[in-house]
Amino acid sequence: MRNAFKTVLTTMGEMLESKQNYKTAIKELEESINHFINLGAMQYADIENMIGLLSKMQKIMRERYPEKENMVYTQISLFYQKIIQAMDYQNGQQKDMQEADSYSLKLFVRDMLQFEHGDDRSYTCILNNLEWLHIKNAFVYAFEKPMIHLYKEKFEVPHYLYLKAVQKEGVVSAIPSLEQKVFISKIFDNHYVHMDHYNYMVSFPLFSNEMLYGILVCDLTNEVFVNGEFLVNQMSSAMRIISLLKMNEEIQRQLEESYETMRENNIVLDTLSKSDGLTGILNRRGFYLGGEKMLYDAQQQKECVLVFYADMNNLKIINDRYGHEEGDFSLKLIARLLKKNVSKNGIVGRIGGDEFAGAMYCEGEDYAEKLKDQIYASFDSYNKTSSKEYNITVSVGIVAVKATQGMTLEETLVKADEQLYEAKKLRKKEVAKTL
């Protein structure tokens, strides 16, 4: 195209110096101009020089061919029009190309960051948007971790890079994690990259300020040559965001693990705060919380609840005569037998030194006496078969609460305590077993 432009200028110059006849000169000039325009070479034209030569030629031809003055004027005017039309067409094409490039840039900026996670799949998004640069082959390498490199600081070259995604003949794919690790000396010659398959390639560092993220290797096209800096800036931003997302996801994972650990610890702490350290059953706080919930649920479901007080008989005598370890053993046994009698239908708690309380769902008020007899029978059975020198017994007071009564746990325990008081009047002082 540059040669065509040179030919047009040369032809104009020769016409000014030669003695060609009018028709031959005009014909040669017209052919040269048409050839130049048809090649689409106006973008290389020195328009000012062309117009200057045409004006000079018009003046000389009018002097040389005075009888054809009007024809000269008309012909040169046609040449002007052709050049102006070609310029308008060329400018229109350039404008369309600029608008297309601008639109492609907008799409590139928008689509380059269309990922939500910091995993390896996100690297394919980077390579999926290089068509506007006429790139068909590209390879994204990442450092194992982002590296800080300060000004004038010696760069410590890593032994490995990680090939995250490749584009071959326009087809983009992610690299399996087990196949990503590549020696730094093999980034241009490995299982996925063979430089002898490509004509011209270029490598760019991907970085943001002092932080290095990796390397891009891609085709060297005219568009890359012009827009390489812009490409690097955008891809570096994408790499930075992937790194931040990955860091954020790791922090989120650690937070979730910490939250789960805290939740489990809180459950343990909550259980411990509601448990009696000696017997393992509920303590006073735990029993009151559980008992109030049982009464509320029973009222909602129109069910009946039995609430009882149980008090160990003769704990002081056992402690004094047989030792406090035996006293502790007795309290643990009471907790175990009461819990066994209540089973899964209720709860049992130690609410004082030798005082216990329980609550359980029942089918009717008549079950109160049955439960009391069942509790006493379990202790009689244990005492008959145990090797202990003493008997372990309790006194029990039980109250049945109907759903329609609307009694609180505190009110119910007061009534149960009243019955316990009556039961204690009948307790026996004999602790030691008789032979």
**Fold match between domain 121-248 and domain 284-424:** no
> Of 9-13, 58-62, 70-74, which gets the smallest average pLDDT?
9-13
Q: How many CB atoms lie within 10 A of CB 75?
A: 18
Q: For the chain, how many helices (H) and strands (E)?
A: 11, 10
Per-residue pLDDT, 93:
66
Domain covering 284-424, topology: Alpha-Beta Plaits (3.30.70)
Per-residue pLDDT, 152:
81
Tell me the pLDDT tens digit for each residue of 328-374.
Answer: 999 999 999 999 999 888 999 999 889 999 999 887 777 888 999 99
pLDDT band at 234 (very low <50, low <70, confident <90, very high): confident
Average pLDDT over residues 420-431: 78
Say whether pLDDT at 275 is over 80. yes
pLDDT band at 1 (very low <50, low <70, confident <90, very high): very low
Q: What is the pTM of this model?
A: 0.49
Q: Map residue 433 onto helix, strand or coil.
A: coil
Contact between 338 and 310 under an 8 Å Cβ cutoff? The reply is: yes
Average pLDDT over residues 393-408: 84
pLDDT band at 115 (very low <50, low <70, confident <90, very high): low
Domain covering 121-248, topology: Beta-Lactamase (3.30.450)
> What span, in angstroms and rounded, lies between the C-alpha atoms of 188 and 191?
10
Annotated domain spans of the chain: 2-107, 121-248, 284-424
Tell me the pLDDT tens digit for each residue of 214-230.
Answer: 999 988 988 888 888 88
> What span, in angstroms and rounded, lies between the C-alpha atoms of 84 and 366?
114
Tell me the pLDDT tens digit for each residue of 314-337.
Answer: 899 999 999 999 999 999 999 999
Phi, psi of 171 (to 5 degrees): -95, 120
Q: Give the DSSP H/E element, type plus range, for residue 165.
A: strand 160-168
> What span, in angstroms and rounded, lies between the C-alpha atoms of 424 and 120?
75
Say whether pLDDT at 4 is over 60. no
Per-residue pLDDT, 379:
93
Say whether pLDDT at 147 is over 90. no
> Of 20-24, 84-88, 417-421, which gets the smallest average pLDDT?
20-24
